[in-house]
Chain A
Amino acid sequence: MYKEDTIAAIATPAGEGGVGIVRVSGPDAERIAAALFVRAEGKNGNLKSHMLHYGTIRDPKSDKILDQVLLTIMRRPRSYTGEDVVEVHCHGGVFVVHRILGLVLAQGVRHAEPGEFTKRAFLNGRLDLAQAEAVLDLIAARTEKGADLALSQIKGELSNWIGDLREQLLDILAQVEAAIDFPEEEIELLERPALVAKIDALRDKITIITGTYEWGRLFREGAKVCICGRPNVGKSSLFNALLGEERVIVTPIPGTTRDVIEESINLDGLPIVLWDTAGIRDTADQVEQIGVDLSREHLEKSEAAVVVLDGSASLTDEDIIFLSSTTKKMGLIAINKIDLEQRVDRDQLRQIVGDKKIVTVSATLGHGLQELRKSLRELILHTDMEPPFVLTNLRHKSALLCGEQALADAGLALEETQPPELVAVALQQARESLEEVVGVIQKDDVLELIFSKFCIGK
């Protein structure tokens, strides 16, 4: 048997209800199981082959439990592919299946190509012929006829977008390859900084699109946003203003809000679960203290924070401690009460918050709310532009992530003044990743481009 890398994919057809199966095959399959699976009873070690084990899948980073699952290990050679195979059976619907697959891939496993399990099964002499033929017919039907019309529209946009990126990438690659293959042709020497800039621009575009993969979940479940800041800066006022109703009591007495209030708002179709919290401060009041603890908890649980400041007062130590303790969290700064005379030292503020977005609002007058909503939406979707489409396929996402990484490598190689042949290796990899998303493309394109761009030859 050949030594292979480990691959994973969802083994149940997309869009079908009931049980979803994530299949992992290859030498690392068992390691993946150990890293993600927590058995309900007994120790993880020594999971018996060809048995169903009951337990949970846990994200090792956050320790969060994703789903209750049944897991089987089939040690080689008695498995579908002839390699070590782990299958995770889960009930949580399409979304959970994808997240579990995401966890598996995050362990350094490659997403399987269409038909790759079957191919391995075949190459390792483990093929159930009838089954294999059925599987491959299906794959052939999908790739060659383009089964789903609804999908094909998205696919069209995706291919166009990839096509554009690929062209820009080939342009860079042609520059490098031409300098390698035609050194006597007076082709402008590689302008490293200019190439790096082009590569970075490409990477940014890919980042925006890979970011949209999360959108499916965000639009379905909503993002959790915590409004926070020291007492009396106007958090509750702002909460009400965003809601458009008087949901929370507003008083000039600090510490009025003692609970965490939850409401939903809608930012251009993006649902947001908004939390108004008690001001976080050291307090002697026991009831308020409970509120403060709750606030901390919610702040941690939220995906983004809106930190409110009182514009009419200079930054207090409390503000500063608070701002610095949320620097790592995704968020933006709202300077409230702009209807009053402003006392916040903006330079000092900028220094503390780095490149976080700052918006100015007046909760009572309703000024700046539109800007705040827009900024919040951009913050959560990670982009200020409307991407041409939303990525829905995990295989596409992982290919694009590989491409992004390869581009980063290429940029680094250029900056480190590595020889062009190594820059080319990384760029070729990026190109393969892009082509993987849309299928095979003719191989001579770079030469074509070189000949059309540069006056080559003696």
Chain B
Amino acid sequence: MTNSKNDIYDVMVVGAGHAGIEACLAAARMGRKTLMLTLNLDHIGQMSCNPAIGGIGKGHLVKEIDALGGEMGRAIDETGIQFRTLNTKKGPAVRASRAQADKALYRQRMKMVLENCQNLTLRQGSVERLIVEGGKVEGVETQIGEQFYGRRVILTTGTFLRGLIHIGDRNFAAGRAGDFAVQGLSEELAKLGFKVGRLKTGTCPRLDSRSIDYSKLQVQHGDESPAPFSFANEEITQRQVPCHITYTNNRTHEIIRSAVHRSPMYSGSIKSRGPRYCPSIEDKIVRFADKARHQIFLEPEGLTTVEVYPNGLSTSLPLDVQIEMVRSIEGLERAEIMRPGYAIEYDYVEPTQLYPSLETKQVRHLYHAGQINGTTGYEEAAAQGLMAGINAVLSLRGEQPLVLSRDQAYLGVLIDDLVTRGTDGEPYRMFTSRAEYRLLLREDNADLRLTEIGHSIGLATAEAHQRVAAKKAKTSMLMALLEQTQINPTVEINKRLESIGSAPIRNQTSLAQLLRRPEVSGSDIAIFSEELNRFDPEVTLQAEVEVKYAGYIDRQMEMVERFKKIENFRLPEDLNYLDIRGLSREVCEKLTKIRPKSLGQASRISGITPAAISLLSVYLRKKKNA
């Protein structure tokens, strides 16, 4: 069955996970005729692992997605059931948002948004083959032979490529528990010349809330006034619920230790490496044998379901061991496992085979986004989906791709790391320590950094654009006010200073100077001037950070300036590295493989020396002059 070639799409997205959703919405909202193809229309926006969005580094990504005009922030704001701001005492740049989601609501909401989106068509089908002509992808073909034609194709297939679930010594093919795997596509990709690798990840068993004894457990409530992710939202109004905390104990550890040989990770039936930052409970017990207990967060999966996600108990031990282990834990003595935990192996496509636009180097007009690139996490996936969707459209328009730089956004750090350094055999997750200009990439200024860009490409709304312009203007106003408002060393003033735990002043002092003291916060100085209360909290926060961190921010900006100099130095597509005098063979091979877009990107490839970079720049200069 062939859909008419006349019925040609601009952008076709394979997959409806977090990457697929953002890719489709971006393309359709930018005015392109878009198709979403998914295995199961009921599972759009499914959270396969824990029911939460955000966290350190990840919250930053969600804010950036929102600032550019993506969907994830708005979705979690409407369906979140517990919001918390993390790292409140560690500085504004690493402060991050996290929220528990009602999984079912999140799915429903995403499906509704997709169904109501103009220019977007949804179809169910399992893509098994790419239609490639002359090095260009032209369409896809499903399991049942249905063909779809389109000018750009984005693959966001998650863990579905040859997914294989392990529980104890049993294993079976699945994309995740309850969904079919896709068998043919990764072979197709290998045939097209892609290097395909294998990764592993895992998830926890799900428990029946009614079988848990919460009376003994520590309660963890969300923030009193939950802060929304999306810059468009001002408050969270839906009902909020608490999580609970319990711990593993000696007995738990003994049970695991005596059964560890039955885990597929240790029996040798899984060979691929899992993420070290998301270890299974058996991994934790083996690798950190002297730790007396491990924390388990009991997270409700929604308001209308009894399923509970025991975060921290990821395991692929056999079911009998899972039950025994769970029941050794305080509060879970009678717990019923509704779904077992499992490990899953899946194929991914080495992301160094992508350009920074996420278009593949092997096949033109084909883009990869999400877990297929070896990342983990809903946020990382959504981030790539968004960028792939944007860049597919920009390419259709004949414009330059949107490549965010490392000093501009975590989105930029993420994609640059992936396409330049690859995943190194371990699923890639965002951490704030991956960003060298961390102080510049804050959640609070994601809109200031990105909304204008989102608007200029036709994605972020005019309202968002105006909101950001207003925020910018008000922030400068407030900063000027802080510099201009002087207070005198009167007894009264110094008393107030004492009351906020700060030393008295001896000379006339501006509020800005006062704010630069580490112990003085933005809300503290409000007592010195009525006028300050006129400003919105987000403006106050912005001004506070800018004033307090001025020295540090300036220094990072200087670093950025230096970094940009080689970052903006473009390398031609057809550069033959073998022609360059003095480059070692190893360096040549690496450069030929990655084909960096800029001198800066080249310098981040592991094993490329500064001397090689200088040789490269001289060579190019010579060629240009010739």
Contacts and interface: CB of A to CB of B under 8 A. Distances in A.
A262 interface: no
Interface string A128-146: 0100110011011001100
Interface in A277-292: none
Contact of B94 (A115, A416, A420): A420
B278 to A, nearest CB: 4
Interface residues of B, number: 59
B406 to A, nearest CB: 12
B276 A456 contact: yes
A123 interface: yes
Interface stretch (B253-261, B363-371, B387-395, B609-617): B609-617
Interface in A112-133: 113-115, 118-119, 122-123, 127, 129, 132-133
Nearest to A139: B611
A177 B552 contact: no
Given A133-B581, A143-B609, A457-B276, A180 B621 contact: no
Is chain B's interface secondary structure helix, strand, loop, or mixed overall? loop
A129 B584 CA distance: 21
A457 B294 CA distance: 10
B314 to A, nearest CB: 7
Contact of A416 (B278, B518, B584): B518
A140 B583 CA distance: 9
A194 B224 CA distance: 34
A453 B431 CA distance: 17
A318 interface: no
A455 interface: yes
B609 A186 contact: no
A417 B558 CA distance: 25
Contacts of B184: none
Contact of B565 (A123, A143, A456): A123
Interface string B307-318: 000011010000
A123 B617 CA distance: 9
Given A115-B611, A181-B431, A421 B311 contact: no
A442 B417 CA distance: 13
A422 interface: yes
Interface in A433-458: 439-440, 442, 444, 446-447, 451, 455-458
B93 interface: yes
Interface size of A as a range: 35 or more
A180 B611 contact: no
Interface in B73-100: 86-87, 89-94
B56 interface: yes
B601 to A, nearest CB: 14
A182 B57 CA distance: 10
Nearest to B290: A455
B520 interface: no
Contact of B621 (A129, A186, A444, A458): A129
Interface stretch (B130-138, B347-355, B432-440, B505-513): B432-440
A118 B311 CA distance: 55
A403 B558 CA distance: 18
B561 A3 contact: yes
A419 B91 contact: yes
Nearest to B603: A440
A248 interface: no
Contacts of B276: 451, 456-457
A332 to B, nearest CB: 40
B565 A132 contact: no
Nearest to A420: B90
A365 B500 CA distance: 66
Contacts of A144: 584, 609, 611
Interface in B288-314: 288, 291, 294-295, 297, 311-312, 314
A317 interface: no
Contact of B614 (A115, A180, A183): A115
Contact of B439 (A4, A123, A421, A446): A421
Contact of A133 (B57, B90, B609, B618): B618
A113 B90 contact: no
A458 B614 contact: no
Contacts of A183: 56, 86-87, 90
B581 A184 contact: no
Nearest to A417: B518
A53 B171 CA distance: 83
B58 to A, nearest CB: 11
A181 B618 contact: no
Given A118-B614, A458-B278, A186 B295 contact: yes
Nearest to B96: A183
A184 B610 contact: no
A123 B424 CA distance: 33
Interface centre among A114, A416, A444, A446 (most CB of B within 10 A): A444
B611 A136 contact: yes
Interface string A410-421: 000000111111
A421 B86 CA distance: 14
B582 A136 contact: yes
B534 interface: no
A144 B583 CA distance: 10
Interface string B13-51: 000000000000000000000000000000000000010
Interface in A17-70: none
Given A419-B89, A420-B90, A458-B297, A180 B288 contact: no
A425 interface: yes
28 contacts: A2-B561, A3-B561, A114-B611, A118-B618, A123-B569, A127-B618, A133-B618, A140-B614, A143-B610, A144-B609, A144-B611, A181-B56, A186-B295, A419-B89, A419-B90, A420-B91, A420-B94, A421-B94, A421-B439, A424-B433, A425-B556, A444-B424, A447-B434, A455-B287, A457-B284, A458-B297, A458-B311, A458-B312
Interface of B: 50, 56-57, 86-87, 89-94, 275-279, 284, 287-288, 291, 294-295, 297, 311-312, 314, 424, 431-434, 436, 438-439, 518-519, 549, 552, 556, 558, 561-562, 565, 569, 581-582, 584, 606, 609-612, 614-615, 617-618, 621-622, 625
